Amino acid sequence: MDRYDPHAIEAKWQQIWEAEHAFEVSNERVQPKSYVLEQLPYPSGSLHMGHMLVYTIGDIVTHFRRRNGARVLHPMGFDSFGLPAENAAIREGGHPREITERNIANIKRSMKRIGWAIDWSRELSTHDPSYYRWQQWLFLRFFERGLAYRKAAPVKWCPFDQTVLANEQVTAEGRCERCGTLVESRLMEQWFFRITDYAQALLDDLDTVDWPESIKARQRNWIGRSDGAEVIFRIEELAVDVPVFTTRPDTLFGATFFVLAPEHELVERLAETAENGEEIREYVRRAAVKKTEERAAAEEKTGVFTGFHVVNPVNDERLPVYVADYVLTDYGTGAIMAVPAHDERDFAFAQTFGLDVRVVIRPRDGEAEDVPYVSGSDDDVLVNSGEFDGLPAPEGGRRIVDRLAAEGRGRFAVNYRLRDWGWSRQRYWGAPIPVVYCEADGIVAVPDSELPVVLPDVEDFKPQGKPPLAQAEDWVNVTCPKCGGPAKRETETMDTFVDSAWYFLRYCDPHNEQAPWGREIVDYWNPVDLYIGGVDHATMHMIYARYFVKVLNDLGMLGFREPFAAFYSNGWVTFGKTKMSKRAGNVVGPDDFVAEYGADPVRLNILFIGPADQDMEWTEEGVEGMARFVRRLWRIVNEVASEAPRGEEADGPLARKAHATIAKVTDDIGRRFAFNTAISAVMELTNELSRDTRGADSRFAAETAVSLIQPYAPHLAEELWQRLGHERLWGQPWPVADEAMLERETFELVIQINGKVRDRLQVSADASEEDLIAAATSSERVRSFLDGAEVRQTIVVPRKLVNLVVGANGTN
């Protein structure tokens, strides 16, 4: 028998798959179908172990579902715009496109070497004009409906480099990662999508998808629905109504002051007439410069009194109005009623400024409660609240809102933490935004017929007060599509989250030049049946993609409401510290191990380490052990191929074990996504097979082991399958366990006394309860334990155990 040579075998089968287009699928609408998708990779220098894990999980499911009769779409592409390539170009010279395309070529070579069953005919890259052309087209559909709009929003700004910084370019200390200058906050006009319109739909439809609860919880948290009330306070001096949002209308009688966020639109109006107008303006200026995190971290609350008062609608009390930066401008209405007795932040402010604290909620039975007391449960009652005294807090709150509503001074309201999605970047390496700025007509869409607006080349990718694209003057200066007058192109680009919000739709119809996709095609393949990826994309990417699908559905462009019907979140892969330092300098990735052991052992091992949805540590010992198993399987199956008889009925114990393994592996992959225990099961079968490679059952057991391991180790399995005298395992139906062979003639009866195992007996499978009890009580060992004591109770679990309960005063 020849030695196991993974490199030769893997090259051989990869060539055959490619020549036979083994994993390409057409869009012919055949059922059943399955769309198996992993989050597309960012093309950095090379693959890492995390990639190895995600794409192998998807690959196993792809093979499994194919062989179970589904038409499976399993595409691949590259999230190829973005900051790292641009920074590399600035650092090392060259063009981001060259760097990116070199990386793609490199990664693609690694992917093909690993042998994932990908339909490469559908490959796409988001930096390709044939892709972003349709992204621009989609943007225009959003834009014409007002779903994409511009507004001023704070950005992180480096005053030295004169540029906007992405969050990841700001150090933990709040400095520019390049020059170390303290980063400022600046208001700038930016592009947004109106995702907040869909907050409730994004929340509700989580109930319709099969995702891990933890991922759903993160999205719910991110959307952050709060139920409460909007209550109108009035500044009588100015005859202005100022609404506030509160989740605690039950505490309205406890309001003792009122706060506006520094950015609130009313603040400037107050400053105009206030005696201390300049002090107010100065406070606002200082607050604007501070980062949100800095504001939150402040030891003491700061603020300034305006001299104005508002009227509390529940009791017509006059409350002093402050401006303070602990109130956020972009949540609720940017103004709050302050109830220091029942809110920690208001309490802290009241302490600093010596303001009244009025208790209006008490525990029903206690009294000496701490202030602030924030609970508002049914065990609390209202006090100092006029007609509402004595009511449980939640009910009291509802009644207060009812009364305010009747008076037109309040209503029940819902608020979300979710903010509109800001997606424009002052960066070069992204999709151009197809609008122009015209002095006469304002923002004007580029006509569909002029798409794509192709990203022009520039000399320098460093932003210098303006986005790099501003350098491309020939490109920037155009005529307005509306009036024909002079206009300038948008020089900001789209964030990569836009690119990845719809790529799974383009895979379905990647070469369409008339439209982003054909609706029947997209409706056939979608929603994605299994989406696989990391938890780090649980919020942003996966909320944005859901938002896109909902909008596109409302626009009639597709017929579903959710992109990802099921989601599997893979764990993180780490290396031990010793391994890291041993190969200091270069990151250890799958390429290194594939070169040493071959792709199949690496594929197997990444899933054998542990449950794929939990974090795991990759070790050299582990992959060595797996290589040992693979060689063992190789040797045993080769022996079977040459030694075991053909065409004999396989119905002995080894055949039964094989059927049991089929059942186990099918359930593990198909239902439980327990990829590690499926491998264990095949190992067990292999161990049993190794005891007899020449018997009548051996051939069946070997064929079963090879067939079941195929999704994990497709090259090895294919080669062994051929040696067993067959062809094209990847196209073979998945094996089905014979129910009759799963039935056992005998089983091991466990006999317990008072719940402790005392004996095990082989018993006929069709023994009656009475037979089991008789067998149990006649056992010598059992008798010695019973020693004549009275059996008070006998529990019989058919085909499992007998538990004899003897009295506590028994003499056992």
Partner RNA sequence: GCCGAAGUGGCGGAACUGGCAGACGCGCCGGACUCAAAAUCCGGUGGCCUUCGGGCCGUGUGGGUUCGAUUCCCACCUUCGGCACCA
Residues counted in the chain:
812
Min dist. Cβ of residue 29 to RNA (A): 34
Considering only 56-64, 171-179, 491-499, 615-623, which stretch makes contact with RNA by CB under 7 A? 615-623
H or E stretch covering 75? none
* Beta carbon nearer to RNA, 301 or 489: 301
Binding-site string for RNA from residue 619 to residue 658, where x marks contact by CB under 7 A and - marks none:
x-xx-xxx-xx-xx--x-----------------------
Residues 715-734 binding RNA (CB under 7 A) are none
Q: How far is the CB of 175 from RNA (least distance, A)?
A: 20
3-state secondary structure 299-349: CCCCCEEEEEEEECCCCCCEEEEEECCCCCCCCCCCEEEECHHHCHHHHHH
Task: For the beta carbon of residue 374, count every other beta carbon within 10 angstroms.
Answer: 15
Contact flag: residue 801 with RNA (CB under 7 A): yes
Which residue in the set 56, 190, 246, 471 belongs to the binding site for RNA (CB under 7 A)? 246
At 281, is the secondary structure helix, strand, or coil?
helix
Nearest residue (CB) to RNA, 217 versus 454: 217
Q: Which residues, numbered 669-708, are part of the site for RNA (CB under 7 A)? A: 672, 674, 676-677, 679-680, 683-684, 687, 690
Query: Measured from the CB of residue 69, what is the shortest distance to RNA in angstroms?
Result: 22
Nearer to RNA, 581 or 746 (CB): 746
Instruction: Tell me how far, at minimum, the Cβ of 344 lies from RNA, in Å.
Output: 8
Burial class (CB in 10 A: 0-12, 13-18, 19+), 678: buried
User: Residues 6 or more apart from 503 whose CB is under 8 A from it?
Assistant: 40, 77, 79, 124, 126, 131
SS3 575: strand
List the one residue from 59, 86, 325, 492 that touches RNA (CB under 7 A).
325
- What mask of x and - would describe binding to RNA in positions 504 to 543, judged by CB under 7 A? -------------------------------x---x----
Q: In what order do the strands lie in the sheet with 486-489?
A: 442-445, 435-438, 486-489, 477-479
Contact between 744 and RNA by CB under 7 A: the answer reads no
User: Which of 161, 325 has the CB closer to RNA?
Assistant: 325
Residues binding RNA: what is the number (CB under 7 A)?
85
Shortest distance in whole angstroms from residue 104 CB to RNA: 29
- Cα–Cα distance measured from residue 561 to residue 548, given in angstroms and rounded to the nearest whole number: 9
| Interacting residues of 601 by C-beta distance below 8 A, sequence separation 6+ | 6, 593, 623, 626, 627, 630, 713
Stretch that binds RNA, among 97-105, 392-400, 547-555, 800-808 (CB under 7 A): 800-808
By CB under 7 A, is residue 103 in contact with RNA?
no
Least Å distance, CB 671 to RNA, is: 7
Question: Half-sphere exposure of residue 780, counting CA atoms within 13 Å on the CB side?
Answer: 0
* Contact region with RNA (CB under 7 A), list: 74-82, 219-227, 363-371, 523-531: 219-227
Q: Pick the closer one to RNA by CB: 664 or 699.
A: 664
Stretch that binds RNA, among 69-77, 127-135, 604-612, 701-709 (CB under 7 A): 604-612
Nearest CA among 29, 178, 183 for reference residue 518? 29
Residue from the set 7, 218, 398, 726 that interacts with RNA by CB under 7 A = 218
Exactly one of 134, 326, 423, 544 binds RNA (CB under 7 A); that residue is 326
Cβ 656 vs Cβ 742: under 8 Å: yes
Give which of 166, 162, 146 is closest to 82, Cα–Cα.
Answer: 166
Cis-peptide into 249, omega within 30 deg: no
The span from the CA of 677 to the CA of 682, in Å, is 9
Cα 287 to Cα 714: distance, rounded to the nearest angstrom? 61
Q: Does residue number 177 form part of the binding site for RNA (CB under 7 A)?
A: no
Nearer to RNA, 233 or 608 (CB): 608
- The alpha carbon torsion through 133, 138, 143, 149 (nearest 10 deg) reads -90
Q: Could you tell me which stretch among 69-77, 214-222, 354-362, 456-464 binds RNA (CB under 7 A)?
A: 214-222
How large is the angle between the packed helices 6-19 and 96-114, nearest 10 degrees?
110
At closest approach, how far in Å is the CB of 127 from RNA? 27
CB of 213 to RNA, least distance (A): 5
Q: Which of 120, 137, 331, 560 binds RNA (CB under 7 A)?
A: 331
Q: Between the CA of residue 258 and those of 267, 306, 307, 330, 668, what are the distances in Å?
A: 13, 10, 12, 17, 59
Contact flags string 544-563 toward RNA, x per CB under 7 A: --------------------
Structure tokens at 723: 């040696």
Q: How far apart are CA 95 and CA 457, in angstroms?
A: 9
CA distance 754 to 786: 10
Residue closer to RNA (CB basis): 331 or 412: 331
- Please report whether residue 8 would count as binding RNA according to CB under 7 A: no
Residue 758 sits in the site that holds RNA (CB under 7 A): yes
**Neighbouring residues of 320: CB distance < 8 A, sequence distance ≥ 6:** 257, 258, 305, 306, 308, 309, 355
Q: Within 10 A of 523 (CB to CB), how many other CB atoms are there? A: 15
Shortest Å distance, C-beta 792 to RNA: 9
| Beta carbon of residue 704, minimum distance to RNA (angstroms, whole number) | 16
Q: Does 430 bind RNA (CB under 7 A)?
A: no
C-alpha span between 631 and 629 (Å, rounded)? 5
* Candidate list 110, 754, 764, 777; residue touching RNA; CB under 7 A: 754
- Among positions 129, 456, 589, 611, the unique one binding RNA when judged by CB under 7 A: 611
Q: How far is the CB of 260 from RNA (least distance, A)?
A: 10
Peptide bond into 212 cis (omega under 30): no
**Residue with smaller CB distance to RNA, 436 or 532:** 532
Indicate whether 301 belongs to the interface with RNA (CB under 7 A). yes
Please choose, out of 382-390, 525-533, 640-648, 792-800, the segment that lies near RNA by the rule CB under 7 A.
792-800
Provide the 3-class DSSP secondary structure of residue 356: coil
Contact call for residue 358 and RNA (CB under 7 A): no
Q: Does 384 bind RNA (CB under 7 A)?
A: no
Q: How far is CA 629 from the centre of its chain?
A: 34
